[in-house]
Amino acid sequence: MPISPQAAHHRARVAALTRAVRNGERPADDPELADAHQHLKSLRITEFVQRQLAEAPPLTDQQRDQLAELLRPVRRGGAQR
pLDDT, position 2: 82
1-12 pLDDT per residue, tens:
788 999 999 999
Alpha-carbon Rg of the chain, whole angstroms?
18
Q: Structurally, how many domains does the chain consist of? A: 1
**What secondary structure letter does DSSP report for 73?**
P
Query: How much is the average pLDDT of 17-43?
Result: 96
Range of the domain at 72: 5-80
CB contact at 8 A, 18 and 6:
no
Query: How much is the average pLDDT of 31-38?
Result: 97
- Mean pLDDT in the chain? 90
Query: How much is the average pLDDT of 71-78?
Result: 71
